[in-house]
Chain A
Amino acid sequence: AQRVTQPEKLLSVFKGAPVELKCNYSYSGSPELFWYVQYSRQRLQLLLRHISRESIKGFTADLNKGETSFHLKKPFAQEEDSAMYYCARGGNFNKFYFGSGTKLNVKP
Chain B
Amino acid sequence: DAGVTQSPTHLIKTRGQQVTLRCSPKSGHDTVSWYQQALGQGPQFIFQYYEEEERQRGNFPDRFSGHQFPNYSSELNVNALLLGDSALYLCASSLGTGGEADTQYFGPGTRLTVL
Contacts and interface: CB of A to CB of B under 8 A. Distances in A.
Interface residues of B, number: 27
Interface of B: 4, 31, 33, 35, 40-45, 48, 50, 55-56, 58, 90, 94, 96, 100, 102-109
Interface residues of A, number: 24
Given A94-B94, A95-B45, 6 more contacts: A44-B106, A45-B105, A46-B105, A86-B42, A96-B35, A100-B42
Tell me the dominant secondary structure on chain A's binding face: mixed
B32 to A, nearest CB: 10
Nearest to B101: A94
B106 A94 contact: no
Nearest to A38: B106
Interface of A: 4, 6, 9, 32, 43-46, 49, 52, 86, 88, 90-101
Given A43-B106, A44-B90, A90-B102, A96 B45 contact: yes
Given A93-B96, A95-B58, A96-B33, A44 B43 contact: yes
A99 B43 CA distance: 8
